[in-house]
Amino acid sequence: MDRKTQWMKHFGISYSDFDAVTHAIRDALDGKALTRLELLEKIAKRLKPKLRLLLKSSWNELLHPASFEEVLCFGPQRGSETTFVSPKYWLKSWRNRLTPEESRVALLERYLRVYGPSDRLEFAAWAGMDPVNAKPTWESMLERMIEVAYCDRRTWLLKDDLEALLGSEFRDPVRLIPNFDVYLAGRDRRVLTSSREAHKRVYREAGWVSAVVLAQGKVSGLWSSRTQKDKLLFRIEPFAKFGSGLRRSVEEEAEAYADFLGGTSGLSISWSRS
């Protein structure tokens, strides 16, 4: 079952409903940039009540899958609002669409370049594909991959990236990563956490992603901050005991964060027991 079919089944949408939405959006965005509400006003009369309700949702249940049909993409920001445009008019170098398999191969290559090492199931989850449908694409790329062991798991990288990865160094080994940072956003981010328990503390219920301490590329703890009487209070929750050097690096990062925020007269850092 492909992604579009899965989506339609989940929301109880027929193929004719989906086609009605994509055709209406294509007509409305003919050379124009519209916000979601403006787009709704343009196409509401052409849609069933159920589809109008879905279009109003801030979760973009209709706009997201419509983007797979190449009828819209993000346009220029209008103040605090996002606009949508037709890629045909927005992108001067717009090319004819790739075949589905060409698209999947290109997607896998870019995925491994950014998120590798990884495996087929994690790629499928990230791309929103059925693992069965992802298998032919994965296997077609195997000659360009190399298997590596990571966290006692079999994972794969692009061969072209291996040398660069082996020669890389952490110039700044410690970073405080905020909630929902894009570095933590991929569904394959298990490679960042050392255990299932740590993973659960980072990726919590209702889609919440915690702020984390990143040490040597690994999620090593959580952090939080709040202001109290013009003083910035930091709390660090390490997953394991931090040595004195690592503790000092974390504290320096907290100090830099406080300087960036400004407007506080002092900084207090507390550590919870690991």
Can you list the positions of beta strands (E) in the chain?
Answer: 34-35, 73-74, 83-85, 145-150, 153-158, 174-177, 212-215, 218-228, 231-238, 266-271
Q: How far is CA 91 from CA 45, 74, 94, 226, in A?
A: 29, 11, 5, 43
Mean pLDDT split into 10-residue runs, the chain, 274 residues = 72 85 90 89 84 73 78 89 88 72 92 90 87 94 94 89 85 85 70 78 86 89 90 92 92 90 80 83
pLDDT of residue 32: 87
pLDDT of residue 58: 65
Can you list the positions of beta strands (E) in 110-186?
Answer: 145-150, 153-158, 174-177
pLDDT of residue 98: 76
Tokens of residue 163, six digits: 């040398």
pLDDT of residue 96: 63
pTM: 0.60
Domains and CATH numbers, the chain: 3-90 (3.30.420), 100-166 (1.10.10.10), 174-271 (no CATH)
pLDDT of residue 126: 84
pLDDT of residue 34: 93
Question: 3-state DSSP call for residue 41?
Answer: helix
